[in-house]
Structure 1
Amino acid sequence: MTSALERLRPGGAPAPDRFDRRLVVPMVLGSILNPINSSMIAVALIPIGAALGAPPSQTAWLVSGLYLATAIGQPVVGRLVDLVGARPLFLAGATLIGVGGLLGALAPSIGVLVLARVLLGLGTCAGYPAAMTMIRGEADRTGRDSPAGILTVLAVSTQTVAVIGPTLGGFLIGVGGWRLTFTVNVPLALACLVLGALYLPRPRRTGPAGLRAVVRAVDPTGVALFVVTLVSLLLFLTHLRADLWWLVALTVVAGAALTWWELRAPLPFLDLRLLGGNRPLLATYARALLAAITSYALLYGYTQWLEEGRGLSSQVAGLVLLPVFGTAILVSSATGRRPEIRGKLVVGAVGQVVVAALLLLLDAGSGVGALVVLALLAGVPQGLTNLANQNAVYAQADPDRLGSSAGLMRTFFYLGAIAASAANGIVFRDGATTAGMHELAVVMLVASGLFLVLTLADKSLGRTTLRSGSSPAAAGR
């Protein structure tokens, strides 16, 4: 796909050797809507359940619905971004976000609210793959293959900013109730539509023959098998009941069919031959999954314990978590321009182990000061691991498939988030008690320990850096 970033945009052409700064605001705004919506709901589950008379088993679908939509949609939308460009997918996603936000604000029942969350999940799928593709396009246009500053901004604005979600959610609930956590998406979606229409590069026009080629390249059969495999797996992880064994069987059968098809398809949706030959990228996906288990167990489980086990209000619980956001921003900003990736991952993994161990020391009588200190420490791995994993994907992925590779990384990330959500449901089966929180800390210790071992064992990380003047795709090989 030729870079449309070379075309003129409002205000004239960008400087030939500098990143087009007009792309930054829509790129960041589109990217933050998914992590904000995935985390903001954490402090809204209890008031939503009380208002709509929905038990925890039903409000849990507000989390799972967005996760399912996002985990499935990210690589599919990312592949479309690779093929037709960022602009049309970005604008379509913004439209869905606006519809989902409005539907949630007016929802009369928990079922309609879950539908609104699914629409938000699908709508926010485009932001991150589009941003990664635009960064690659600008690197090609300017000849600067290591836009570390822009990648840092993206990391801060996606995974790191997710931590502010509970704080923002608590503020919105205090101002106008839980429906405001949905309504806020409407003006944000309008801003994305305006900025995207003004500044995102226009793709080349595609005629009927070109559209048919795009459809073939998307690989509808591969996408369908991928959806069945992932939905059955995620439904099982969400519920974890013995009577749902057939979902595991369906996952295995659909996964085998997906593998068989993708190894033979002329234009596969998931190029398994390419992925199989790119072990560093597969290891990055595994690290993203493990890191997400610990990160989201803290985000959701610890937040629930702060409200029920520790007895804090939604607003105060959000404020207690705010230092995670501040520390993560500082850490990402301070280390973002450093090219090495391995060191960030090692320190991040050790930080997750330490935070999980400290959770075992907390109880219902722990002072607010201790809670704030833990939040400060949790910000260190939050700022390092997300940045490092993102940069690793940028360095290791095939440039022609960067959008789908970035989307697939987010799929693994959300698999970890769903695993964390399932663990929350198990350990908090009798409420968000201190004993349950300690059980969750053990789960976090196992996940973060595996993350550390995998990082130390991956020798390719010593060669994976963002190097100026070289092909990023080759840097990780």
Structure 2
Amino acid sequence: MNVRSRWLLISVGLGVLLNPLNSSMISVAIARLQNVYHLDFTGVSWIISSFYIASAIAQPVMGKASDLFGRRKIFLAGLVVSFVASLLAPLSPNFGWLIVFRIVQAIGTSMIVSVGMAIVRIHITEKQATALSVMSIFLSGAAAIGPFIGGVLIHWWDWHAIFIVNIPFVVMSFLLAWRTIPKDKPPTSIARDMSIRKWFDLIDASGILLFTVGLVALLIGLLSAKTSGNVSIGHVIVGLIGLMLLTAFVRHELKATSPFIPLRTFAKYPAMTWINIEFILVNLLYYSLFFGLPSYLQIVRHVSEFQTGILMLSLGLCSLVTSPIAGRWIDKSGPRPALIVSGMLMTFGSVWIVTLNQTSPVISVCIALVVFGISNGLNNVAMQVALFKSSPKEIIGVASGVFMTSRYLGTILSSLLIGVLMGNKFSAGGFRLLGVILSVIALSLVFMSWRRRESAQLEES
């Protein structure tokens, strides 16, 4: 790999780490934001949901946009959008404006992620596997150390710092990318002559609108009912509108020529569908702990942001260490044994959460963090291998896109679950109930993985 390729790799890596870094740093800031803006826990949970809803929509849209308008342009534009969001978010006059800038930040960082890997694949042809592995380190490493960085920043400064810290990364990435990423080829005549209506059809703007409004309405209906403590007609109406729009979205996607989520593919390949369902549940489990445990430590156990960040570091480090070991194991034995072990670990970790009480040593929380970190490292590799085994080669690109959408859906559901359980205030009782629910989900994952192994053995015999 020549010097120019190395600098290109660094420039892209500094950009793509912004999305996982910002999605993970916020976990330690939730309790602080709740106090600053005088919100109940359900209200502050929108800082999580809004980011993932925006990311789930922006990444596939920006991926399509880069094919038409150029990957370099989208990458640099994403850095500019991220810079603006990081600069303005600390100046938010209220929580509503903070949500707006958080959404803008999600869009900007999604623009970078959606084209970053493609830029590396296209422009680094020598030792490409090494280059892609370095990119995965930027992505997974940022997610792993995000809570620790967030805890340190909030402890020494305040929540504003978790946005300001992005600015040096953005500036360095932009300057390097401007010099190292080759200029895009002139747009094709198709791209130049494309009307706004054709562009909307290409990205499935109608499907995106139905999905977004329907999902947000459903979340508002459910979370508002929990916050107020009673179910009013208004809550029911908003929730029903959300369900109706999501139903309309499903019908629309089955007919669309370029669907936002290719539901026809799910119907055609049931094995791939089940993998994505499992992946949704895996992320529901992992992110419920990822976002729930920092609030438990700070609100219930009165642990500082700095100490919370240090404790959360065990989760990310265990995941990072486990992934390469899991890769070698899965190469020999296939993904199913790893998924079964992962499910058992998540079951143990979820049950362990149920046993925690006010007198439990804070360090005992690390047991749950370690087992969930190991299980996440196993799942990161095993789920992707299982997806590739269940997906025909001709649709592997579509399958990978759907796989990322499944991750975001699991994360959004984790935010919804925590918000519904906690309501106005994060409590020890609510956290134990969360552990019970997660235990049931984890056992379901063990059963699903085991049944799939039995099915595979029957097919082989």
Q: Normalising by structure 1, what TM-score?
A: 0.81
| 1:259 and 1:272 in contact (8 A); partners too | yes
> Which residue number corresponds to residue 413 of structure 2?
419
| Structure-2 change in CA distance of 1:106 and 1:49 (3 Å) | same
| 1:78 and 1:406 in contact (8 A); partners too | no
Matched, 1:432 2:423: no
Matched, 1:357 2:338: no
| Structure-2 change in CA distance of 1:269 and 1:427 (3 Å) | closer
| 1:82 and 1:133 in contact (8 A); partners too | no
> Which residue number corresponds to residue 73 of structure 2?
88
Deviation at 1:26, TM superposition (A): 3.8
SS of corresponding position for 1:360 = helix
Q: Normalising by structure 2, what TM-score?
A: 0.83
> Which residue number corresponds to residue 188 of structure 1?
169
SS of corresponding position for 1:158 = helix
Mapping for residues 45-444 of structure 1, pairs under 5 Å: 45-81=30-66, 86-134=71-119, 137=122, 147=129, 153-159=134-140, 161-200=142-181, 202-207=183-188, 209-213=190-194, 216=198, 219=201, 222-237=204-219, 239-240=221-222, 241=225, 242=231, 243-336=234-327, 339=331, 340-392=334-386, 405-429=399-423, 431-444=425-438
| CA distance in 1: counterparts of 2:66 and 2:291, whole angstroms | 31
SS of corresponding position for 1:206 = coil
| 2:207 and 2:260 in contact (8 A); partners too | no
| Structure-2 change in CA distance of 1:211 and 1:344 (3 Å) | farther
After superposition, what is the alpha-carbon deviation per residue over 1:300-320, rounded to whole angstroms, capped at 9, x for unaligned? Answer: 111111112222111111111
| Structure-2 change in CA distance of 1:379 and 1:267 (3 Å) | closer
Question: Between Structure 1 and Structure 2, how many residues are aligned?
Answer: 444
| CA distance in 2: counterparts of 1:159 and 1:214, whole angstroms | 39
Deviation at 1:441, TM superposition (A): 0.5
| Structure-2 change in CA distance of 1:161 and 1:462 (3 Å) | farther
Deviation at 1:459, TM superposition (A): 5.7
| CA distance in 2: counterparts of 1:387 and 1:461, whole angstroms | 21
| 1:76 and 1:404 in contact (8 A); partners too | no
| CA distance in 2: counterparts of 1:462 and 1:198, whole angstroms | 51
| CA distance in 1: counterparts of 2:454 and 2:186, whole angstroms | 41
Query: Which moved further from structure 2: 289-298 or 448-457?
Result: 448-457
Q: Per residue, is there more helix in 1 or in 2?
A: 2
Matched, 1:44 2:29: yes
| 1:238 and 1:418 in contact (8 A); partners too | no
| Structure-2 change in CA distance of 1:393 and 1:421 (3 Å) | same
After superposition, what is the alpha-carbon deviation per residue over 1:61-89, rounded to whole angstroms, capped at 9, x for unaligned? Answer: 22222122112222222333455554332
| Structure-2 change in CA distance of 1:413 and 1:269 (3 Å) | closer
SS of corresponding position for 1:67 = helix
| 2:391 and 2:399 in contact (8 A); partners too | yes
| 1:130 and 1:403 in contact (8 A); partners too | no
| CA distance in 1: counterparts of 2:180 and 2:452, whole angstroms | 40
| Structure-2 change in CA distance of 1:153 and 1:379 (3 Å) | farther
* Cα RMSD after superposing both structures: 3.4
Deviation at 1:179, TM superposition (A): 0.5
| CA distance in 2: counterparts of 1:210 and 1:354, whole angstroms | 53
| 1:155 and 1:386 in contact (8 A); partners too | no
| CA distance in 2: counterparts of 1:35 and 1:207, whole angstroms | 33
Deviation at 1:46, TM superposition (A): 2.6
Deviation at 1:290, TM superposition (A): 0.6
| CA distance in 2: counterparts of 1:309 and 1:456, whole angstroms | 37
After superposition, what is the alpha-carbon deviation per residue over 1:388-429, rounded to whole angstroms, capped at 9, x for unaligned? Answer: 334555666677876665444333222222222222223323
> Which residue number corresponds to residue 470 of structure 1?
none
> Which residue number corresponds to residue 467 of structure 1?
none
| 1:82 and 1:403 in contact (8 A); partners too | no
Calculate percent identity across the aligned residue pairs.
25
| 2:316 and 2:373 in contact (8 A); partners too | yes
| CA distance in 2: counterparts of 1:137 and 1:394, whole angstroms | 22
SS of corresponding position for 1:126 = helix
SS of corresponding position for 1:124 = helix
Specify every segment of 5 or more residues in structure 2 that has no aligned partner in the other structure, as ranges: 226-230
